Amino acid sequence: MTTQAVLTGDLTHSQIVSDTQAYLSGLKSVLAALKKTYGLTIDTYRGDGFQVVLKHTHQAFECALAIRAGLIAASPAGERWDARIAVGVGAATVGRTYGEAFVLSGQGLDGMKKLSLALFSHDASLLRGAELVTEFVAAIVDKWTVVEAQAYHAHLLGVGDQQSIAENLGKSRVAINKALQRGQARLLDRYLTCTRQWLLEVADA
């Protein structure tokens, strides 16, 4: 079975930030920067909504974290930019524009309520492995500071070692090391390793 991953999201608190247009521009910049890395097909709608289709399904959760990290990292002083993201994983339908993953992701976002990151799939084994742990990951990301998001975003996208990240962000290496520790980078890396494998297994099923 050929699987597909679709991320549907919307910006949080987009109506109460000081500059809504800057927020929307920030979203477009983050998505554009990730387009080549993850082979994204990008669509924005309803002003603060977006949907991306990944070229490689196994990168779905990594891309979701990269989007959220990029937004939080770009937050202006005194505000927090972020997004709710529904990860839909399902069968790719040949000959149709919108397959199962699109429906799961879109409907999933509408029903997420207070969740900021969630998985939606009909694959029972994938849900057993990833659904609950993804909620825990969401709770970690929800508490990130801007510096923690900046550090993990650079780490995730392979900017370099901690010294390189520090130089790019204008911080000390010690500050970056502490930011990655506070942001639970080690646990998030393990989570992404597991989810990549689980999604590859779904694709091979």
For residue range 94-140, list pLDDT tens digits in order. Answer: 655 678 999 999 999 999 988 999 999 999 999 999 999 999 999 99
Q: What percent of the chain has pLDDT over 90?
A: 85
Statement: residue 93 has pLDDT above 80? no
29 pLDDT band (50/70/90 cuts)? very high
For residue 119, give its domain range.
3-204
CATH code of residue 87: 3.30.70.270
Q: Which two tokens stand for residue 144?
A: 């990130």
**Per-residue model confidence (pLDDT) at position 115:** 95
Statement: residue 2 has pLDDT above 90? no
Q: Determine which of 43-47, 55-59, 178-182 has the lowest per-residue pLDDT on average.
A: 43-47
How close are the terminal C-alpha atoms of the chain, in Å? 7
CA dist., res. 128 & res. 101, Å (int): 18
**Per-residue model confidence (pLDDT) at position 133:** 97
Q: How many CB atoms lie within 10 A of CB 159?
A: 15
CA dist., res. 37 & res. 86, Å (int): 20
Number of domains in the chain: 1
